[in-house]
Amino acid sequence: MFKKKKVLVLAIVLLLAASLLFVGCNDDGMADEVEASLAGRHVGYSWGGEAGGTSFEESDRYIETILELDDEGIITDAKMNYFVQKDGFWTMRQSGNAFVDVDYSVTPVAATPGEDYAAGTSMFTVYTADMMSFYAIGVDEDGTVAHAIVDPITRYQMEMKFPADFDFETTMGELTIGSEYNVPTIRTSGSGFLRPDSWDEVEENTIFDVGGPWSHVVADVGVLEGMDNDSTVRDYLEALGVEFDGDTPQGKELSYDYFGVGGWHGNYRAIEEDLVGRNATEFTSLVDWSDFEDSINEDNQFGVDTESGATRTVQNSYDTISGATVRISREAASFQRALVDAGILDEDDVIVGRF
């Protein structure tokens, strides 16, 4: 009996000693619980169709946010990826990878816009998950220039074909959508800010002003920085890598890239850079939702069943939002879910963005 009591007392002492490992003393000598460290990797997701009841497993597109936090919750590293399923395979939308080909013998023909949309005739064959801010440029051996650029306002692929003897001192302002040198051939997305029902609506506009002030994203930064309607076609093409011998463009292998901040890849890298160094216990959303309260329903869903006149878009291409020029409500939801994973937020705190 004595041995059993001795063992019991020893067990109690060990338990008390172990508990002291998880407490400290305050200035008054009283025990305080030590706060759990936030250090580690935390992951969050948002996905297409979530607001309509689609499960994560059923969705064909999702955004993943990966945060590395230190003990205090400072973000030391951040990664954001947009995955989309194409032809049964998963790929990253912001990978920047593309297959591009061109047929210099083709004359571009405009698409039919509006509800009865029909693709036109394009010089280019493009396979990519990222058409935002995409452009392609090539010069045939005979000096024929073929160029495609995706307008960020209408989301149409605009195509320009110049013969070798074209007057390249022509200004870009003369290459209106109503001219033969700026042809909207393919609609790359149906969610453009401007959705013309007829090309007559924008026939006097160019890539630099079709969206009014919002077209600034074309030439504020990046490969076309400083270009405008007063720039010559030669200046424009040289910015894209075309070289001239006298007044004649020289042969150039077809290439592609992304203007502005660099498509989805550039925008996601901008968000990541903006996040590093922030305190995740204080910076709990990419978006200041107080500016969009009328657009959030009782289920914490943004832009689903909004009041009349309320916005369904979170975007500020001039000042950016968390570094991005694009709409980022869905990215914001993914970021908040990473904070849920870290124990900083509860799921009820997450604003479900419009995918």
The verdict on 28 and 45 lying in the same domain is no
What is the reported pTM? 0.79
The verdict on 102 and 212 lying in the same domain is yes
Span of 89-98, 120-129, 231-240 with lowest mean pLDDT: 89-98
Within a domain: 82: no
Within a domain: 59: yes
Tokens of 73: 């919750």
pLDDT of residue 170: 98
pLDDT in tens, 183-238: 999 999 888 889 999 999 999 999 999 988 889 889 999 999 999 999 999 999 99
Within a domain: 207: yes
Tokens of 279: 């305190």
The verdict on 293 and 185 lying in the same domain is no
The verdict on 105 and 196 lying in the same domain is yes
The verdict on 29 and 149 lying in the same domain is no
Span of 24-28, 77-81, 142-146 with lowest mean pLDDT: 24-28
Strands, DSSP E only, in the chain?
A: 23-25, 31-33, 40-47, 61-69, 75-86, 89-92, 98-102, 124-128, 134-139, 145-150, 156-162, 183-187, 244-245, 248-249, 252-258
The verdict on 292 and 342 lying in the same domain is yes
Domain boundary among 220, 239, 262: 262
Within a domain: 121: yes
The verdict on 29 and 152 lying in the same domain is no
* Cα within 13 Å of Cα(203), Cβ side: 9
The verdict on 121 and 9 lying in the same domain is no
pLDDT of residue 95: 83
pLDDT of residue 325: 67
Per-residue pLDDT band for 315 (boundaries 50, 70, 90) equals low
Within a domain: 91: no
pLDDT of residue 308: 42
Domain count, the chain: 3
The radius of gyration of the chain's CA atoms, rounded to the nearest angstrom, is 27
pLDDT in tens, 325-336: 677 888 999 999
The verdict on 325 and 193 lying in the same domain is no
Query: Where in the sequence is the domain holding 283, given as residue range(s)?
Result: 40-74+277-349
For residue 311, pLDDT over 50 is answered with no
Most confident of 85-99, 142-156, 288-302: 142-156
Within a domain: 215: yes
The verdict on 227 and 108 lying in the same domain is yes
In this prediction, residues 240-261 reach a mean pLDDT of: 96
Residues 125, 234, 220: CA angle, nearest 5 degrees: 80
Q: Using CA atoms in the order 185, 188, 189, 190, what is the torsion angle rounded to 10 degrees? A: 20
The verdict on 29 and 44 lying in the same domain is no
Q: Please write down the long-range contacts of 16-24, taking CB distance under 8 Å and 24 or more positions apart.
A: none
Within a domain: 291: yes
Q: Angle, to 10 degrees, between the axis of helix 329-341 and the axis of helix 263-275?
A: 40
